[in-house]
A = this chain, B = another copy of it.
Amino acid sequence: MGPDAKLFLMSDTALPSLTEVASRVKSASYVLTEVNGEQRTEALRAMARCLERSKTEILKANISDLERGRRSDLTKTQMDRLTLNDQRFEAMVAGVLEVARLPEVVGQVVKGYTLPNGLSVQQMRVPLGVVGIVYENRPNVTADAAALCVKSANAVMLRGSSQAIETNLAIGDAIVQGLEDAGLPGEVVTVVRDTTRDGAIEFMRLNGYIDCLIPRGGPALIRAIRESATVPYVLDGDGNCHIYVDKGCDIEMAKKIVANAKVQRPGVCNAAETLLVHEAVAREFLSDVPSFLRGVEIRGDDETRRYVLDAMVATEDDFATEFLDMVLAVRVVKDLDEAIAHIRRFSTGHSEAIVTNDRQAAERFKREVDAAAVVVNASTRFVDGNQLGLGAEIGISTQKLHARGPMGLEALTNVKYVIEGNGHIRT
């Protein structure tokens, strides 16, 4: 245990300031650039072992959080998200081991060339440094994010909710033990103890310490980040996803895709929220809605309501809403242009799909629709790190800088220029 670690324990009674904590995490992040990928992967395995060994304490801490949650009247959904039962615990540990098995990304040469003057130029993948995560109740994020960050040679500051603080700290303790077992500084993964609102603002303004902030939460958190953050961040925003059913498409395929995108798991960001139907197929497609979208509340425009008799009237608000529920807004459009215009107006830049047999329509949709993912003849539900073969994901970026779409290990890196010469000077 180094002198820094001792200091940390000593100051456990008098909590160190957030800047002091961040400064130690920054120092620890440098150590990660000095070790190789095998050592980091071994640290992940040690983290998994220590989590398993601390299972009793972690689940006990979770029960304490849950009791506090019950007393403070958390909603059923909030309580569910907070819960870490045996099955979820094992999935969490398995997740860490899965990340351990992912291929190394750090040190990859993304581009390499030699200039006419003989200078060698490489763009090499390097870690970001210190990643900050702000998240809500799910305590498994603590281990997931820690694993992805360590694998990509980043240190991480984890700021979860006050509701989950005991569970998060217990998970953090086990992870720190694993890091130290593997010879790495425990500060590489730091669970932030201060879960106050002021603390959150301070966290978003740790310039010089946090190299990338990734918020995982609802619109209120996103708004707070936009207004207050001064550190660079990547937004994991809403998914108001559309499916456009084109004229002349395979109607049966369209039904299957729309049903899957809406119903298979309505509470997630890559589920469909609005259906747009070309007027030429509106009657044929929409008349069958009660059968292929059984149990889904339809909110439609006038044309839709001619075919879906029990549909409610869709307001502008409905088209702008990410329902995350068994509700679907529906509009009949006169052509692809109208569909694209609608999507441009209401899209949150997550995932947008078209079902079509018209190659030209597909090409236009791919080029002209601006989203992290455009999907042709498949369900929007595929826009997910695991489904796309990235392994795990630390979020889905809906912004246009840095990462876009599901963020795996590569999103936790950037490239640096490595330029080598033999006494080259500029003339």
Q: Are B419 and A33 in contact (CB under 8 A)?
A: no
Assign chain A's interface to a size class. 35 or more
Given contacts A128-B400, A230-B226, A373-B417, contact A382 B119 (CB under 8 A): yes
Is A287 part of the contact surface with B, judged by Cβ < 8 Å?
no
Q: Are B382 and A424 in contact (CB under 8 A)?
A: yes
Chain A binding site: helix, strand, loop or mixed by DSSP? mixed
Counting chain B CB atoms within 10 Å of each CB, which of A129, A227, A402 scores highest? A402
Is A294 part of the contact surface with B, judged by Cβ < 8 Å?
no
Q: Are A378 and B416 in contact (CB under 8 A)?
A: no
Q: Are A374 and B419 in contact (CB under 8 A)?
A: yes
> A373 — which chain B residues lie within 8 A by C-beta?
416-419
> A372 — which chain B residues lie within 8 A by C-beta?
416-417
- A414-B372 Cα distance, complex, nearest whole Å: 10
Given contacts A33-B368, A234-B401, A420-B376, contact A425 B257 (CB under 8 A): yes
Is A76 part of the contact surface with B, judged by Cβ < 8 Å?
no
Which of A59-67, A89-97, A320-328, A383-391 lines the interface with chain B? A383-391
Q: Are B419 and A375 in contact (CB under 8 A)?
A: yes
Is A426 part of the contact surface with B, judged by Cβ < 8 Å?
yes
Give the 9 A-B CB pairs with smallest separation, nearest first: A378-B421, A260-B425, A373-B417, A378-B424, A253-B423, A381-B426, A401-B402, A402-B402, A376-B420
A-B contact pairs, 29 of them (CB 8 A): A34-B364, A115-B387, A115-B388, A119-B378, A119-B382, A128-B400, A207-B226, A253-B422, A256-B425, A259-B425, A260-B425, A261-B425, A264-B425, A264-B426, A372-B417, A373-B416, A374-B417, A376-B420, A377-B422, A377-B423, A378-B424, A379-B424, A379-B426, A381-B426, A383-B417, A388-B419, A401-B401, A404-B414, A404-B416
